[in-house]
Amino acid sequence: MNRKEKENEFYAFHMERFKQLKLADPAFVIKTAFFQKGKFGKQVQLFEGELNKGVDIFIEMIDIVRDNDNKEIDMVPANADRQLFRYTYNPYFAEEYEIKEGLGKSGTGYTAYIIPASELVAILKDGSQITYNLWEKRKLDAEITAELAPKEQSTLSIFPDFVETYAATAGLQTILDGKQSETVSELLLKISEIFKDLATALSKPN
């Protein structure tokens, strides 16, 4: 897997958007967004060489695909809508951001900076921009709406699929609260069992 080739592939996907923005040769990179202990929200890592160009940087978020041996085998879009983000150049990056130094895969040293994702803006399809936090909120709202939307019943019964319906509700609570509620899960399972018993009783001949 060649990262530069992958980056060129992702860049090609956004060429029409760059034309719309009247950008002939934009700085573009692919990055993984991550959580870091002690910091609020997601972060991205930009290398010193990328920041030293002194220009805005366009970013698409990716996920790394690994095999059973934890070896990287592919890079795929992190977002189904292929959202493009923009980091506005900050000339004081060396003073304001946390620095990270280490060794790359080739054994050469590198210097990078940890940038809060909240400092990015999302470039929408019409060319307008919104903050990363607003984009993330809209994405979560869309996911919640999709999860709460009525679903086709998967079993033949006079009652709806309570297990699936309430499992989705429990999953939603996990998203909103950041933790699983065992009490709610147990209650929903009991409700499901009660309705199943009732359905069985009604199906028996008198």
What integer pLDDT is reported at residue 103 of this predicted model?
A: 87
pLDDT-wise least confident of 121-125, 143-147, 175-179, 189-193: 175-179
What integer pLDDT is reported at residue 155 of this predicted model?
A: 59
What integer pLDDT is reported at residue 61 of this predicted model?
A: 98
What integer pLDDT is reported at residue 160 of this predicted model?
A: 54
Share of the chain above pLDDT 70, in %: 75
User: By C-alpha distance, which of 26, 98, 91 is closest to 60?
Assistant: 26
What integer pLDDT is reported at residue 98 of this predicted model?
A: 96
Question: Which stretch of DSSP H or E encloses residue 74?
Answer: strand 72-77
> Strand, coil or helix: what is 37?
coil
Stated pTM of the model: 0.71
Strand order in the sheet with 34-35: 34-35, 42-47, 109-116, 98-103
